[in-house]
Structure 1
Amino acid sequence: MSAPKTMLQLTGRGYLPASLGQATLLIIDAQEEYRSGVLSLPGLDAAVAEIAALLAEARRLGSPIVHVKHLGVPGGLLDPQGERGRHLPEVAPDGQEIVVEKRLPNAFAGTELHDRLQAIGNLDLIVCGFMTHSSISTTVRAAKDYGYRCTLVDEACATRDLPDTRGGVVAADEVHRLEVIALADNFACVVANARALR
């Protein structure tokens, strides 16, 4: 029996990883909620370090950078007026980088993200941030519908433990691993870390 192939391989539509010098860096929901809030993520610090490396290199190269910020519930998750809704300081916008605000997991839904990306002119996106199974997944899947080619940086994403449908728990690293596998099947080229893009 032959080894399974991804849909991208089977259809001949796969592509090489994007170059940081010729792509737009898309940082999704790198916010305080995921460090100190109810949605604190295991492995967050390692993922933030990878995002910081991507951000530093993109800035050095003068590449376009778009930060997506989720506007949550006042007084609740990702509070848009409180600490938990703020960008993590290590990877916060520098004041000149684009910030797109969203209210749904998919960063294209009801936002100007597509228009901002079209104005930049890059079809290649390098994607990182939180959470892998939610905003990362929905945005990467939607990006394909808009004609973008996503390169997903595995170690620059993270997610949380989830309850399963049988009363158990699926560990965050397994949720993350399976979501990355699913995205690599038909929606993104996946690389391990920031070093893979240099």
Structure 2
Amino acid sequence: MPQSHKTILQLTGRGFAPAKLKNATLLVIDVQEEYRMGALPLPDLEAAVAEIVDLVAAARACGTPIVHVKHLGITGGLFDPQGERGQFLPELAPQEGEFVVEKRLPNAFSGTDLHDQLQAIGHLDLIVCGFMTHSSVSSTVRAMKDYGYRCTLVDKACATRNLPTPSGILSAAEVHRIEVAALADNFAVVVPDTKALL
């Protein structure tokens, strides 16, 4: 393979094997109603939700610790913490004994106790899924490297939205593909789906 076709992780020898559910912590980011019935509809939401449902079920079956991240928006606006749009999607609501971290910025480490909770759980390997690929997922995965975690990103368990550009609309599928490639270059190992983690 040409050097130019290798990731930075490969070129530096800092790559790592994908995590397995039995020895990692699952981080589920912003699976909230805003993306289904609010102002930020995701074209590929339902397919990603179905994959996350499978992933969470597999994690629970393995006894994998699960941390649910919830974005707190503004009253009456995006991710309204008092309204329906800010709530977890019902099929992905946390269960008793699972951790919940509330954030106000895209990066789930910023201004929260996420790092402390992860340290208490004790796993270096983190498996990540959720929304949106180019925003909260990306900023959180990038921050993980600063804290020394190894991130495994589940491709089919993430999604994003169409984005406006000066030359037109960039499709959600293309935004997702580009962001996953960027994260795989230097911040995470990417697996296609839940089956790769078993």
Number of residue pairs matched?
197
For 2:196 and 2:120, the matched residues in 1 are separated by 27
Give the distance between the partners of 1:123 and 1:84, measured in 2 at CA. 33
Whole-Å separation in 2 of the counterparts to 1:111 and 1:56:
26
Partner residue in 2 for 1:182 = 182
Cα deviation, residue 59, structure 1:
0.6
What is the CA–CA distance in structure 2 between the aligned matches of 1:174 and 1:157, rounded to whole Å? 13
CA distance in 1, matches of 2:95, 2:65: 12
Match for 1:61: what amino acid? C
2-side partners of 1:62 and 1:187: how far apart?
A: 26
Residue of structure 2 equivalent to 1:126: 127
Shift of 1:196: 1.3
2:158 corresponds to: 157
Alignment of 1:60-75 (within 5 A): 60-75=61-76
> 1:34 is matched with which residue?
35
Structure-1-length-normalised TM-score: 0.98
Q: Which amino acid aligns with 2:10?
A: Q
CA displacement at 1:95 relative to structure 2: 2.5
Q: Deviations over 1:107-161 (max 9, x none)?
A: 0000000000000000100000000000000000000000000000000000000
Matched letter for residue 152 of structure 1:
L
Distance 2:84 2:112 in 1: 23
Aligned counterparts of 2:181 and 2:26: Cα–Cα separation in 1: 21
In structure 2, the residue matched to 1:88 is: 89
1:167 deviation in Å?
4.0
Instruction: Please give the alpha-carbon distance, in whole angstroms, between the structure 1 residues aligned to 2:85 and 2:167.
Output: 29
1:45-64 to structure 2, matched below 5 A, reads 45-64=46-65
Q: Which runs of 4+ in 1 moved over 6 A?
A: none
C-alpha offsets along residues 3-61 of structure 1, whole Å, 9 cap, x if unaligned?
Answer: 51000000000011100010000000000100111001011011011111110011111
Distance 2:5 2:167 in 1: 31
Q: Does 1:111 align with 2:103?
A: no
**Partner SS state of residue 151, structure 1:** strand
Matched, 1:44 2:45: yes
1:135 and 2:158 are equivalent in the alignment: no
The yes-or-no answer on 1:173 pairing with 2:165 is: no
Identity of aligned residues (%): 71
Counterpart position of 1:193:
193
Counterpart Cα distance in 1 of 2:96 and 2:75: 24
Structure 2 gap segments, 5+ residues each? none
* Unmatched tracts of structure 1, length 5 or more: none
- What is the DSSP-based 3-state SS (H/G/I as helix, E as strand, rest coil) of the residue aligned with 1:126? strand
Q: Distance in 2 between matches of 1:9 and 1:105?
A: 28
Correspondence 1:7 to 2:8: yes
- Counterpart-to-counterpart distance in 2, 1:193 and 1:63: 16
**Superposition RMSD in Å:** 1.0
SS at match of 2:5: coil
